[in-house]
Amino acid sequence: MLLKEQLLKLKMIMFGGKGGVGKTSCAASSAIWAAEHGRNTLIISTDPAHSLGDSLGVELLPGVATPIKGIENLTALEINPKANMEEFKGLTTVNPMAEMGMSGLMEDLPMFGDLEELTSSTPPGIDEALAFGKILEFIETEHDYDLVIFDTAPTGHTLRFLSLPETLSGWIGKLIKMRLKIGNMLGAFKRLFSREEKDEENSLEVLKKLNNAILNAKDDLTNPIKNSFVIVMIPEEMAITETGRLLNELIKNSIPTSNIVVNQVYQDESELCDFCRARRKMQQKNLGKIQEIFGKKLNKNLIEIPLFREEIREYDSLKELGQYLIGSP
């Protein structure tokens, strides 16, 4: 499905890729287009380095969904995952598995590496886990938006969390047998997934709820009539390798992807200086590879965007970007 069609039909679109390639610009431009075509659109950024507000030219307070003045149907929200760190306190203080003498279970849990990361005192990837948790929470929350656009979607690495239900279902069986309680960790998960705190709630119940939340979200995320992941990249060798890895993860987790944006492409040879001509040559070589691998072999739709003279910011240039991105005004 072309991006234009996706913007008119899907419930969710996620823009992902390396920093600085143009995710926020593409997400914002798409969101404006969708809103102007009658869809009540929410754009959510989970990037702690706030740039959605800057891109749209508005001030966004963290965690506050803000209707964008002058654009009917468009609301923007910046979540700072770090601000939610408090919610994770229980997770970050101890390793509950070790505390309960359950370390022996580790071999049976293919995901334990991730959980260990989550439960160590300075966990790497905690931002990712929080951002992912927030995305799940949004997918699972009832709302009136026709379309939700995620700027800074989960990376391939973060998508591992989607396998959690399989891991947890194995756990549940074991836990019932062993009549164990996972105190701290579940408390933290619970805080992440529900607003009210009922501490007396049965641990296993909470675990089952988490399990279901992820399974439901997974249903939505993997449904091609609901969601699509748009990869944004630049025509450089390293980006090709990285995009290949990301695509692998997306395929492995059944996340639909049909469009890849190749951004910041040098145009018109005649206008270029020596230096830029050399860069264009490098880019053209990589574009060839991108067309071969992602276009022909993997059957992805490639969207080429020129490098603009100016930074892409605010309404007019986001609209101009939209002409390349979506292909109509």
Ligand X SMILES: Nc1ncnc2c1ncn2[C@@H]1O[C@H](COP(=O)(O)OP(=O)(O)O)[C@@H](O)[C@H]1O
The residue among 18 and 23 lying less far from Mg ion, judged by its C-beta, is 23
List, in sequence order, the alpha helices (H) in 200-296.
203-221, 237-252, 274-290
Q: Which residues contact 142 (CB under 8 A, 6 or more apart)?
A: none
Contacting residue, 6, 24, 73, 283, with Mg ion by CB under 5 A: 24
Nearest approach, Cβ of 70 to ligand X (angstroms)? 20
CA 298 to each of CA 228, 248, 273, 290: distance values in angstroms, whole numbers, following the listed order: 16, 11, 35, 10
Is 259 an interacting residue with respect to Mg ion (CB under 5 A)? no
Of 246, 259, 255, the closest CA to residue 325 belongs to 259
What x/- string results for residues 212 through 241 when contact with Mg ion is judged by CB under 5 A? ------------------------------
CA distance 261 to 243: 11
What x/- string results for residues 44 through 73 when contact with Mg ion is judged by CB under 5 A? -------x----------------------
Q: Which residues contact 6 (CB under 8 A, 6 or more apart)?
A: 13, 228, 258, 259
The residue among 30 and 41 lying less far from ligand X, judged by its C-beta, is 30
The residue among 23 and 190 lying less far from Mg ion, judged by its C-beta, is 23
Nearest approach, Cβ of 16 to Mg ion (angstroms)? 10
Nearest approach, Cβ of 16 to ligand X (angstroms)? 9
Nearest approach, Cβ of 47 to Mg ion (angstroms)? 5
The residue among 41 and 95 lying less far from Mg ion, judged by its C-beta, is 41
Contacting residue, 68, 206, 312, 326, with ligand X by CB under 6 A: 312
The residue among 63 and 306 lying less far from ligand X, judged by its C-beta, is 306
The residue among 19 and 113 lying less far from ligand X, judged by its C-beta, is 19
CA distance 201 to 19: 41
| 208 class by beta-carbon count within 10 Å (0-12 exposed, 13-18 middle, 19+ buried) | middle
Nearest approach, Cβ of 19 to Mg ion (angstroms)? 7
Of the ranges 17-25, 140-148, 188-196, 274-282, which one interacts with ligand X (CB under 6 A)?
Answer: 17-25
The residue among 48 and 224 lying less far from ligand X, judged by its C-beta, is 48
Please, which of residues 262-291 interact with ligand X by CB under 6 A? 263-264
Is 23 an interacting residue with respect to ligand X (CB under 6 A)? yes
Question: What are the b/e assignments for 230-261, b being 16+ CB within 10 Å?
Answer: bbbbbbbeebbebbeebbebbeebebbbbbbb
Is 51 an interacting residue with respect to ligand X (CB under 6 A)? yes
The residue whose Cβ lies closest to Mg ion is 24
Residue 313 binds what, of Mg ion, ligand X, none (CB under 5 to 8 Å, by partner type)? Answer: ligand X
Largest CA distance in the chain: 74
Contacting residue, 102, 192, 217, 305, with ligand X by CB under 6 A: 305
- What's the alpha-carbon Rg for the chain, to the nearest Å? 21
CA atoms within 13 A on the CB side of 254: 13
Q: Token pair of 228, please? A: 């699509």
User: Under a CB-based contact definition with an 8 Å cutoff, are residues 12 and 31 in contact?
Assistant: no
Positions touching ligand X (CB under 6 A) are 19-25, 51, 263-264, 305, 307-308, 311-313
